[in-house]
Amino acid sequence: MNAVTPLHDTDPARGSRLEALNRWVEEVAALTRPERIHWCDGSQAEYDALLARMQADGTLSPLNRETHPNCWLHRSDPDDVARVEHLTFVCTRERDDAGPNNHWMAPTEAHAKIDALFEGCMRGRTLYVVPYCMGPIDSPLARCGVEITDSPYVVANMRIMTRMGAAALARIEREGAARGERTDTFVKGLHSLGELDPERRFIMHFPEELAIKSYGSGYGGNALLGKKCHALRIASWQARQEGWLAEHMLIVGIENPQGETHYIAAAFPSACGKTNLAMLIPPERYREADWKVWTVGDDICWMRPGEDGRLWAINPEAGFFGVAPGTSARSNPNALATIARDTIFTNVAVTDDNQPWWEGLDDRVPALDWQGRPYDPANGPAAHPNSRFTVSAKQCPTYSPHAEDPQGVPISAIVFGGRRASLVPLVFEARDWTHGVLVGAAMASETTAAAAGKTGVVRRDPMAMKPFCGYHFGDYFAHWLSFDKPGAKLPKIFHVNWFRKDADGRFLWPGFSENLRVLEWIIGRVEGRAEGVQTPIGVLPDTTDLYLGGLPLEAINLERLLSLDHGDWVVELKGFAVHLEGYGARLPRELSEEHMRISADLLHSDA
């Protein structure tokens, strides 16, 4: 590792040429009182030294070097294994700007509360200064940040998940110099593990200051501040001000046999299959016909209107922070190939020969569970349900050659989806942009282990952004609606549900690679050649509109997947009306009118 920087060192070769950044680092150091400061350069030598340091202190251990070269296991504190939404705050001057979708605290109170925790918290520790870029380093849509942390695990993960180090610092310095040493040219993130005490844990966002403060957690979504904190909560605020969109979406390219590629952005709640869809392998008949799937991103999508009127998107992340359980040779062979080397695993189990293991991987019996205990089914799952892998996106076999294009890729369709065991059909298309925004706003899904709390509870999760939108949802919907203007060539909007079940609790749709059959219909609708049936909730495929060759799907199950129960939908929309009322006067009138129109159509068509 490079020599660390003493607090009193003023050597211009150290730190940054941007005085505003240096001054902030000094202020944080005075508050947290670290033993030493290290400015991260992102080099391989630095990464190797971080790994060696964590191995020495027992926070990281090597996995089987023959089967998983350069792979590592990290075990979290058992009380620190997921996002803590009830301790996550958006701190705006006006409470209503944060909206009912966020926990709010006044900025002055929030700074005082969390700074009291930061007081002296890095004594005996290294303060790491982590400059990073979200998005390709030369992309005009990319945005930069600096995270200060005392966790080498966070630094190692940030190196994988972002463009971290010297190149990012250089861009921050250029942008800062161009704007007169202002401090609002990069997002400032301060993080400390603290004592890992759940009673002394907060994740605070200050969008008006482009600042984040996180204390008391080492979990990814709480501690890797470039991820959900910056790339969604803060970036969504930036995006509204600057005229673009920061979304909780995968980006996948579907190439047809003619060599034409359509890029689809899809929003699903965490642990609902984004990574699987982003890395989808076509079914055998599609592979034989020369269909291809290209991975651009699996979690976050930043979109902006291009000069041609289309929405162009980048993946602001450089890696995957994927959910391990359920990942298998059947569900996602590309993910298994991606994580076979140079990967950090968190809270997985291990086999007797020290290979990573989790539920759904295979039929082996693990030796140790995620807490390092001899595996005993009485203790629960061997791997934590929210166990993760962190790996460079470039290791994915289907990583798109256009994923690093500075201008991004053009989006043909936007897909919303959630985990619903009933009610919602396999796929339907919104009539227009306004209807599509309402479809996204109406999303509901069963909760998963990605967030603390009960799982399997259906909750509203508009556009999969409930935990991540950095401002009032009413204003957020209005921002979406603002893109529908003369000259815009907006993507068509769809909704999918891979998770519908029969009366016995069995999935009606096989999912995984077979989802390409649904995407083919979506692309056909985009191109204007696929048929569909008009219904009150949108356009559904008929049972003959999906290509099902080679798929052993019973006709009765297909009918259930594409069925529309008018009575149940009337009840659903009544519940959604109550949800909309919670946004008060900031809810766009267009959405209320669209909701009333669909409700009337349902009642009329069922009469």
Report the alpha-carbon distance of residue 176 to residue 186 in Å, rounded: 8
DSSP 501: B
Please confirm, yes or no, whether 469 is among the known catalytic residues. Answer: no
Q: Is 515 annotated as contributing to ligand binding?
A: yes
Residue 261 annotated as binding?
A: no
Q: Check whether 445 is labelled as a binding-site residue.
A: no
Annotated ligand binding at 83? The verdict is: yes
Phi, psi for residue 38 in degrees, rounded to 5: -130, 125
143 is in an annotated binding site: no
Confirm or deny that 532 is annotated as ligand binding: no
* 394 is an annotated ligand-binding site residue: no
* CA separation, residue 528 to residues 81, 251, 465, 524, 532 (Å): 46, 22, 30, 6, 10
Helices 19-32 and 107-118: angle between axes, nearest 10 degrees: 60
Q: Is 382 annotated as a binding residue?
A: no
Is 373 labeled as ligand-binding? no
154 close to 191: Cβ distance less than 8 angstroms: yes
Is 228 annotated for ligand binding? yes
Q: Known binder of ligand: residue 592?
A: no
Residues sharing a CB contact under 8 Å with residue 241, sequence separation 6 or more, in sequence order:
none
Question: What is the CB neighbour count within 10 angstroms for residue 27?
Answer: 11
What is the separation of C-alpha 131 from the centre of its chain, rounded to a whole number of angstroms?
20
* Ordered DSSP codes for 288-324: HTT-EEEEEESS-EEEEE-TTSSEEEE---SEEEEE-
- For residues 324, 329, 334 and 336, what is the CA-based torsion angle, rounded to 10 degrees? 50
77 is in an annotated binding site: no
219 is in an annotated binding site: yes
Annotated ligand binding at 227? The verdict is no
Annotated binding-site residue? 512: yes
419 is in an annotated binding site: yes
| Amino acid occupying residue 368 | L
* Catalytic, out of 40, 91, 133, 272: 272
What residue spans of 472-548 are helical by DSSP H? 473-481, 515-527
270 labelled ligand-binding: yes
Token output for 100: 């009912």
CA 463 to each of CA 90, 273, 493: distance values in angstroms, whole numbers, following the listed order: 19, 15, 12
For residue 160, give both structure tokens. Answer: 């994988």
| 211 assigned to a ligand binding site | no
Residue list, annotated binding site for substrate: 83, 219-221, 270, 386-388
Catalytically annotated residues: 272
Residue list, annotated binding site: 83, 219-221, 228, 248, 270-276, 299, 386-388, 419, 512-515
Residue list, annotated binding site for Mn(2+): 228, 248, 299
Residue list, annotated binding site for GTP: 271-276, 388, 419, 512-515
